[in-house]
Amino acid sequence: MPRIAGVDIPENKKIRYALRYIYGIGPSFSDRILEEAAIDRDKRAKELTDQEVGQIATIIDANYIVEGALRRQVQQNIQRLRDIRCYRGERHRKGLPVRGQRTKCNARTRKGKKRTVAGKKGVKG
């Protein structure tokens, strides 16, 4: 199994899709890396030579922030927003949607599992 940027990429997939298993590399970056390395995009990952794997790893190390460094950078950015107590930071702090989505319905991913609040029904009088 080829190992690039500290990540085992799947052997049986085409290299343009296998590179996307690396955190921080999406479709356009994957194609750009392969174009720069002059490797056929439709080649399978297991068909790559050691030289080609090394070439891809060198390009990624030189030009892209991936895996641990990228995760750390994203967390630092979120922490900075929390520290300056801006609106987006407060939304992160409360676990609510940050980018203007509605919360009356359809915010379950950010808000978590539904919690029933007792005593919500009106008192009959």
Question: Which residue range forms the structural domain that includes residue 58?
Answer: 3-63
Final residue in a domain of this structure, among 26, 41, 63 = 63
Count of domains for the chain: 2
Q: How many CB atoms lie within 10 A of CB 45?
A: 21
- The domain that holds 103 is classified in CATH as 4.10.910.10
User: Is 95 part of any domain?
Assistant: yes
Chain-centroid distance, C-alpha 34: 20
Residue-wise pLDDT tens digits, 6-38: 888 898 999 999 999 999 999 999 999 999 999
- The domain that holds 55 is classified in CATH as 1.10.8.50
Residue-wise pLDDT tens digits, 67-107: 999 999 999 999 999 999 999 999 999 999 999 999 999 89
User: Is 124 part of any domain?
Assistant: no
Q: Alpha carbon of 6 to those of 9, 23, 57, 98: distances in Å?
A: 9, 11, 9, 31
